[in-house]
Amino acid sequence: MTRTPDPVKPLIAGLYEQACVGNGSGAVTLWRHPEDRRLEATSLNYWLNQARIAEQSGFDLFFFGDVLGVYDVYGGSGDAAIEGGTELPALDPLEIIPALAAHTTDLSFGATVSTTYTQPFSHARRFSTLDHITSGRIAWNIVTSYLPNAAANFGLGAQRPHDDRYARADEFLDVTYKLWEQSWDDGAVLADRENGRFADPALVRAIDHEGEHFRVKGPHLVTPSPQRTPVLIQAGWSPRGKQFAAKHAEVVFLGSSDVSEIRSGLADIRALAEKEGRDGSQIRALAGLPVITGRTNDEVQRRIDEYQSYYQAAPQLAGYAGWSGIDYAALGDDDPLPSAPGTNVATDHRQQTTRELRERFSKVTAFADERFIGTPEKVADAIAEFAHESGIDGFLLHQFVSPGSLEQFAELIVPQLEKRGLIDPTARRTPFRSRLRDDGSARLPADHPARRPLGARS
Amino acid sequence: MTRTPDPVKPLIAGLYEQACVGNGSGAVTLWRHPEDRRLEATSLNYWLNQARIAEQSGFDLFFFGDVLGVYDVYGGSGDAAIEGGTELPALDPLEIIPALAAHTTDLSFGATVSTTYTQPFSHARRFSTLDHITSGRIAWNIVTSYLPNAAANFGLGAQRPHDDRYARADEFLDVTYKLWEQSWDDGAVLADRENGRFADPALVRAIDHEGEHFRVKGPHLVTPSPQRTPVLIQAGWSPRGKQFAAKHAEVVFLGSSDVSEIRSGLADIRALAEKEGRDGSQIRALAGLPVITGRTNDEVQRRIDEYQSYYQAAPQLAGYAGWSGIDYAALGDDDPLPSAPGTNVATDHRQQTTRELRERFSKVTAFADERFIGTPEKVADAIAEFAHESGIDGFLLHQFVSPGSLEQFAELIVPQLEKRGLIDPTARRTPFRSRLRDDGSARLPADHPARRPLGARS
């Protein structure tokens, strides 16, 4: 099928978060800012407050990134990351989301979970539980992990090779699909009080999975939930990552902010999806959106200057080194930057030498984007143009100061986006999948590999 | 130290729950009862309601049992358990507790997690997160699992032998202790806004654990939480289980309801604890408490008769078969009951033959206790006598109908217990450990193995 995007289709509005103090997606050390409360990230109130604002502002998705190790590539140790708080402490987002769900009704939640360090049986049970208790407001961001320290925390001497991690991820997904979609038939739960039949054993089956990485008997322990399979998000932008996304993902989180690279990357993924027998037009794309705004240009500049005064480069570079696998501390200023093949780090053409990289990371705007810095009208126009030209379906807002960035976005940008038809607070928002698909279905479509019957699987 | 129990010390009041429809600790099929709402166990409101009542009634602990497989011993298949709903669906309690914590302030939560099917690094992170967001209201019930189906869901062809599971559990605990107690010093978190130092790397260390079952580098990803190590609960009543409890447990959940067996079992555990260098007097004991009450004897009898009309034996026996590992369906009426060594099932002297077992399980009171069936005065007196004679420190209430059993206990029994000084609603209840220990400390004492410094470990 060909894709004919509606230029004024409302965007899927998401908030990018990570359950930590030093927020690597904005600027790590802005927890120092006097109005910032990220030092309270270990308390529930910090998160409840953000979830309430996101819901009230018409956001669809509260997305949690995650890591399973410290950033120990930079300078060969975790010291810079620990000192600055780079993505530390790394709380488990799955122990926060249920609390946020209990205080919201429309907001959906995305949780990053690595297939490399968990077991598919318990993972499937966990997400089925979440899908039930959130009434279908849960998405899973599938990652394969990249930090060497994470491998060492799970008994693996060295990080598994990139493609090998994807092979395990493929089988991991196959197991969870069987549990979510094939183990309990739709009519299996009888809830028959009169005859005392909770379920029909003839409609509940073991999955008897025997693969290279996993042996899982089943049946699944949880009855079918509103979405059965959580909405599947994937962020791989490498060739293998795109192939994986084409096969599995319903939402891709983009590893680029370049309009033409996004267009061609999405076209690749959608074409690959069609080859897999899927309707590529239903794959949604979300881009990271780092915004700094203010009522006037002066206010914007004052904000940036203020941010800069709390910014430190080393903890930010520690994060970047972990994503790319390159120890920038060990490189001379004139050394060319090595490429970082097989990682999830964004292709980035902004610098060629270590000096240029250091120059970029000397500024609090290292991860910001000129297009999205400015007055509400300017930023809203830029978002509209970016969405139209790149073909994205939505965004994940990156924050610099919290509270602060989300509140400013809600107060200043959201009304502008509403005016442009880019946010529709009345759009059906739950179950999450219904919000994403043209057919409004809460369930995966028949063309998705998860729906393949047990007998038809390789 | 010798233990001199105060005869009117307030009891630790707990509720026994399991995130399922068919509650095996009461009577499985009472979800059929017209007032029962367990069919809504997949919705958050069901759990929020129970947590609120428990907190308002002065309960200290909301305890979740758990299983990781279906009960497939009885009749050689899971059919009876699936049809009756025996401990199914098995939702993940760790995805429910955060929501309950967000709607309560004093109630603590116990979660059962098996050391056999999870990784210590992610487990430690999960419980540190819970301890933070609940402000120290979390306990871990350490189990090693018993269902053959659970083993088959995690790639293990056969259940690991009982003692081998305990050896893995011992090392699992050692790893988590290192992460919780030794990886971050008390002064490690600086939260120093002025100098931009989140933590002092010199006070954060890798644990570099290299053992038979696990290799875990660390450091721990989460900063020290109010209790650091969650309160440690253990239910083993086998010789190996008692040894394990003596070494690790702060609370033992009793596998017996027999007064003299409890007395001698607790004396054993406390003596073994002293040999381990621990103060045995600080180990608390909780007993299961299945109560059926009513304002008059007639009302009690009507209630039992009503329960009986919704009772079915097979799903109840399916649960019991899973606990003991014995397929009672395969035994003739006159066959003696095999013993069930090495399991967590309670020693039970109530029957000698399969016929006697079937006779017992034909009644809804199979898991009830004559002492705790009756009018409020009778039950409260029985609890007082049981506590005094057995030396227990508290109870976990088992429910038959929900809503129903908890509400009746709160309304009718709690006032009677208060009158007898057995429940003190003003007792300090958080952090949970402070409620348990004579010294009121939120932290494990120096005599606990978790506090042994890294260098002093074998």
pLDDT in tens, A171-226: 999 999 999 999 999 999 999 999 999 999 999 999 999 999 999 999 999 999 99
- Partner residue facing B92 (CB), from A77, A125, A154: A125
Cβ-Cβ contacts under 8 Å, B222 against chain A = 42, 89-91
Task: Check residue A349 and give its pLDDT.
Answer: 58
Q: Quick one: how far is CA B386 from the chain centroid?
A: 20
Cβ-Cβ contacts under 8 Å, B22 against chain A = 198
Cβ of A133 within 8 Å of Cβ of B42? The answer is yes
Task: Check residue A420 and give its pLDDT.
Answer: 96
Mean model confidence pLDDT for chain A: 93
Task: Check residue A1 and give its pLDDT.
Answer: 46
Cβ of A219 within 8 Å of Cβ of B70? The answer is yes
Q: Which of A20, A21, A39, A42 to mutate to probe the B interface, most B CBs <10 Å?
A: A42
C-beta neighbour count of A230 within 10 angstroms: 32
Residues A241-250, mean pLDDT to the nearest whole number: 96
Whether A346 shows a pLDDT value over 60: the answer reads: no
Q: How far is A46 from chain B (nearest CA, A)?
A: 10
Q: What is the pLDDT of residues B107-158, one digit of tens each?
A: 999 999 999 899 999 999 999 999 999 999 999 999 987 788 899 998 876 5
Q: How far is B99 from chain A (nearest CA, A)?
A: 4
Kindly list the domain boundaries of chain B, sorted by start residue. Answer: 12-303+368-451
Task: Give the nearest chain A residue to B204 (CA atoms).
Answer: A82
Task: Check residue B212 and give its pLDDT.
Answer: 93
Cβ of A117 within 8 Å of Cβ of B119? The answer is yes
Q: What is the pLDDT of residues B59-75, one digit of tens each?
A: 999 999 999 999 999 99
Q: Across the A/B interface, how many CB contacts are shorter than 8 Å?
A: 237
d(C-alpha B31, C-alpha B129), whole Å: 33
Whether B441 shows a pLDDT value over 80: the answer reads: yes
Task: Check residue B180 and give its pLDDT.
Answer: 98
Task: Check residue A344 and give its pLDDT.
Answer: 45
- Spatial contact of A324 and A347, defined as CB atoms under 8 Å apart: no
Q: Which of B217, B222, B308, B309 to mutate to probe the A interface, most A CBs <10 Å?
A: B217
d(C-alpha B226, C-alpha A310), whole Å: 29
Cβ of A221 within 8 Å of Cβ of B68? The answer is yes
Q: What is the pLDDT of residues A99-155, one digit of tens each?
A: 999 999 999 999 999 998 999 999 999 999 999 999 999 999 999 877 888 999 988
Residues A159-175, mean pLDDT to the nearest whole number: 85
Whether B440 shows a pLDDT value over 50: the answer reads: yes
Cβ of A217 within 8 Å of Cβ of B153? The answer is yes
Q: What is the pLDDT of residues A293-304, one digit of tens each?
A: 999 999 999 999
Q: Which residue has the higher pLDDT, A160 or A96?
A: A96
Cβ of B153 within 8 Å of Cβ of A69? The answer is no
Task: Check residue A345 and give its pLDDT.
Answer: 47
Whether B345 shows a pLDDT value over 50: the answer reads: no
Q: How is residue B125 written in tokens?
A: 């992170």
Task: Check residue A426 and give its pLDDT.
Answer: 77
Cβ of B225 within 8 Å of Cβ of A42? The answer is yes
Kindly indicate the confidence band of residue A8, based on its pLDDT and cuts at 50, 70 and 90: confident
Cβ-Cβ contacts under 8 Å, A24 against chain B = none
Cβ-Cβ contacts under 8 Å, B159 against chain A = none
Residues A31-58, mean pLDDT to the nearest whole number: 97
Task: Give the nearest chain B residue to A33 (CA atoms).
Answer: B193
DSSP secondary structure code for residue B330 in this structure: G
C-beta neighbour count of B371 within 10 angstroms: 18
Task: Check residue A7 and give its pLDDT.
Answer: 54
Task: Check residue A342 and give its pLDDT.
Answer: 47
Cβ of A216 within 8 Å of Cβ of B154? The answer is yes
Q: Which of B43, B48, B153, B200 to mutate to probe the A interface, most A CBs <10 Å?
A: B153
SS3 of chain A: the string is: CCCCCCCCCCCEEEEEEECCCECCCCCHHHHHCCCCCHHHCCCHHHHHHHHHHHHHCCCCEEEEECCCCCCCCHHHCCHHHHHHCECCCCCCHHHCHHHHHCCCCCCEEEEEEECCCCCHHHHHHHHHHHHHHCCCCEEEEEECCCCHHHHHHCCCCCCCCHHHHHHHHHHHHHHHHHHHHHCECCCCEEEECCCCEEECHHHECCCCEECCCCEECCCCCCCCCCCCCCEEEECCCCHHHHHHHHHHCCEEECCCCCHHHHHHHHHHHHHHHHHCCCCHHHCEEEEEEECEECCCHHHHHHHHHHHHHCCCHHHHHHHHHHHHCCCHHHCCCCCECCCCCCCCCCCCCCCCEHHHHHHHHCCCCCCCCHHHEECHHHHHHHHHHHHHHHCCCEEEEECCCCCCHHHHHHHHHHHHHHHCCCCCCCCCCCCHHHHHCCCCCCCCCCCCHHHCCHHHCC
Cβ-Cβ contacts under 8 Å, A70 against chain B = 219, 221
d(C-alpha A381, C-alpha A386), whole Å: 8
Residues B333-350, mean pLDDT to the nearest whole number: 66
Cβ of A218 within 8 Å of Cβ of B68? The answer is no
Tokens 């959906």, residue located: A108
Kindly indicate the confidence band of residue B346, based on its pLDDT and cuts at 50, 70 and 90: very low
Cβ of B221 within 8 Å of Cβ of A88? The answer is yes
Mean model confidence pLDDT for chain B: 93
- Partner residue facing A153 (CB), from B157, B217, B310: B217
Reported pTM: 0.96
Task: Give the nearest chain B residue to A89 (CA atoms).
Answer: B222
Task: Check residue A127 and give its pLDDT.
Answer: 98
* Residue closest to B135 by CA, chosen among B209, B225, B54, B240: B225
Burial class for B40, CB neighbours closer than 10 Å (0-12, 13-18, 19+): middle
Beta-bridge partners for A293: A374
Q: Which of A82, A128, A310 to mutate to probe the B interface, most B CBs <10 Å?
A: A82
Cβ of A48 within 8 Å of Cβ of B102? The answer is yes
Helix (H, G, I), strand (E, B) or coil at B138: strand
Whether A18 shows a pLDDT value over 50: the answer reads: yes
Q: Which of B18, B82, B97, B159 to mutate to probe the A interface, most A CBs <10 Å?
A: B82
Q: How far is A409 from chain B (nearest CA, A)?
A: 25
Cβ of B201 within 8 Å of Cβ of A117? The answer is no
Q: How far is B181 from chain A (nearest CA, A)?
A: 15
Tokens 């989460």, residue located: B222
Task: Give the nearest chain A residue to B42 (CA atoms).
Answer: A132
Tokens 């690595």, residue located: A114
Q: Which residue has the higher pLDDT, B324 or B314?
A: B314
Kindly indicate the confidence band of residue B425, based on its pLDDT and cuts at 50, 70 and 90: confident
Q: Which residues contact B246 (CB under 8 A, 6 or more apart)?
A: B269, B270, B271, B272, B273, B275, B276, B278, B280, B283
Cβ of B201 within 8 Å of Cβ of A78? The answer is yes
Q: How many CA atoms lie within 13 A of B440 on its CB side?
A: 3
Q: Which fold has domain A12-303+368-451?
A: TIM Barrel (3.20.20)
